[in-house]
Amino acid sequence: MNEAGSREAPTGPDAAAGGAATGTVGVVGLGAIGSGVASSLVAAGFDLVVCDVDPDATARFADRASVAVSPAELAGRCDAAVVAVVDDDQVRAVLTGEDGLLAAPGRLAVVVVVSTITAATVAAMGGAAEAAGVTIVDCGVSGGPSAAQAGDLICMVGGSDEAVGAASPVIEAFSSLVVHTGPFGSGLVAKLARNTIQYGSWLAAYEGQRIAEAAGIDLADLARIVRASDARIGGPATLMFRPTVAPFGPGDDAGLVAAMEGAAGLARKDLRAAAAAGAALGLDLPLVAMVERRCDAVFGVGGDPDLGPGGPGERTGG
C-alpha cells in the first residue's frame, strides 16, 4: 500500500506522520467493492461512516463504523466520500438526489466515484460537484472484491493534479497501484479500455475452448496449458509496450519491426490453421477470422482493414 501524502483536516482526509491516516471518510454502497474499500479505509486508520439502502450491509460494519441514513447525512459528517454503487441512476441519486451528497455538502471536500458508469454521467456529476464547491475524481478500479478487501485495487484516476492530490490519501488506502490517467473522466475511460481487453480475451478463450471441446480435448487440460504458457509468454499485455497503436514507421527500430512482421506472419498461419480445424469440426469461429484479418494491425506492421483511412492504420511522422 502506498503511503499517503499530507493534507490539513477538516478540508479533506489526512495522513499523519508515520503514515497513520486521520480524518473521516464515508462509503456509500457496501456491495462487493464498496465493502472491501470500507474495510481497507478502517485498516488504514480513517474514521468511517457508511451508508447503504440494505440495513444488513451497514450492520456488518457496526463494530467499525457509524451509519448515516442518507448520503446527505454522510456528507455532513465526513471530509471525503467514496461512491461505490452499481450504475448511473444510483450514482446520480447518491450525488445529486434530494438526499444526495451534494444537496448539502457541509464539511465534505472530496468525492471519489469508483462506480463504472457512462462518460455522460461522469461529466454531469463533475459539473454538479463543481457547482457545490466539492472536489471530485473518477476512479476506475480493477482487481475485484478480494483486492478491495486487501487494499490492493488497481486504480485509474481522472482529475486535475490538485483534485487527484486531494483524493490520494483516500485512494491509496485501498490500492496497490494508482495511475493518474489524465483529466476528469479519463479514469473511467481507462477502466472501460481495460475491461474491453479482459472481455475480449475471454471471448478468445471461449472460441479456443470450442475448438478443444469439439476435438475431444479435456477443457481442464487446456486451462492448465494456457495458465502455464501465459506465465512464460505473457497475456494480452504482451504487445502493449508502444505509445501508439499506429503502424511502425521509418524511424522505428528495423530489427523490432522485422521481428513483429515475422510474428504477424506466424500468427496469421496459426489462425488460418485454427480456422481450418474449426471448419473441419463444424464450428463457426468469427473471432479467429477477425484476428487473422487484422494481424498486421495487431502487430503494428500494417493498417487496420476494418477501420479505413483516418484510423490507427494512418500514421503521420516517424
Mean per-residue pLDDT of the chain? 90
Cell numbers describing residue 153: 485495487
pLDDT tens by residue, 185-236: 999 999 999 999 999 999 999 999 999 999 999 999 999 999 999 999 988 8
The predicted model scores a pTM of: 0.84
pLDDT score at 1: 34
Residue 14 has pLDDT above 50, yes or no: yes
First to last CA, the chain: 40
pLDDT digits (tens, 9 = 90+) for 109-146: 999 999 999 999 999 999 999 999 999 999 999 999 99
Tell me if 35 sits within 8 A of 44, measured CB to CB.
no
Mean pLDDT of 32-54: 97
Where is pLDDT greater, at 9 or 70? 70
Confidence of residue 17 (pLDDT cuts 50, 70, 90): very low
Same fold, 14-185 and 197-298: no
User: What integer is the mean pLDDT of 148-177?
Assistant: 97
Q: What is the DSSP letter of 306?
A: T
Q: Where are the alpha helices (DSSP H) in 82-184?
A: 88-96, 119-132, 144-150, 161-173
pLDDT attached to residue 152: 97
Determine how many CB atoms are found less than 10 A away from the CB of residue 21: 21
Supply the pLDDT for residue 190. 96
Smallest CA-to-CA distance from 78 within 155, 170, 161 is with 170
> Is the CATH code 1.10.1040.10 the one for domain 197-298?
yes
Nearest to 285 by CA among 223, 212, 218: 212
Rounded CA separation 33/142 (Å)? 10
Amino acid at 305: P
Reference 141, options 192, 80, 93; nearest CA is 192
Q: Do 207 and 277 contact (CB within 8 A), yes or no?
A: no
Q: Is the pLDDT of residue 10 over 50?
A: no
For residue 8, what pLDDT is reported?
34
Segment 47-51 mean pLDDT: 98
- Judge contact between 175 and 151, C-beta under 8 A: yes
State the pLDDT confidence band at 240, using cuts at 50, 70 and 90: very high
Residues 269-294 have pLDDT tens digits of 999 999 999 999 999 999 999 999 99
DSSP 218: -
The answer to whether residue 88 scores a pLDDT higher than 80 is yes
- Using the Cα atoms of residue 176, residue 180, residue 181 and residue 186 in order, give the sign of their dihedral: positive
Angle ∠(120,125,128) on CA atoms, nearest 5: 130
Give the confidence band of 4 by pLDDT, cuts at 50, 70, 90: very low
CA distance 292 to 204: 13
Query: pLDDT band at 147, cuts 50/70/90?
Result: very high
Would you call 269 a catalytic residue per the annotation? no
Give the number of other CB atoms < 10 A from CB of residue 232.
Answer: 6
Strand partners, 157: 139, 180
pLDDT in tens, 67-85: 999 999 999 999 999 999 9
Whether 301 contacts 257, CB under 8 Å: yes
The Cα–Cα gap between 49 and 23 comes to 11
Residue bearing the bigger pLDDT, 3 or 174: 174
Q: What is the CATH number of domain 14-185?
A: 3.40.50.720
Measure the CA–CA gap between 276 and 288, rounded to whole angstroms. 10
The domain ranges of the chain are 14-185, 197-298
pLDDT band at residue 306, thresholds of 50, 70 and 90? confident
In whole angstroms, what is the distance from residue 306 CA to residue 245 CA?
Answer: 14
- Amino acid 296: pLDDT: 94
Q: Is the pLDDT of residue 151 over 50?
A: yes
Q: What is the DSSP string of 225-272?
A: HHHHHHHHH-SGGGG--SS-SSPP-TTS-HHHHHHHHHHHHHHHHHHH
Q: Which amino acid is it at 76? A: G
β-bridge pairing 47-51 and 24-28? parallel
The confidence score (pLDDT) of residue 11 equals 42
Instruction: Check 70, 129, 166, 191 and give the catalytic one.
Output: 191
CB-CB neighbours of 213 under 10 Å: 14
What does the chain come to in residues? 318
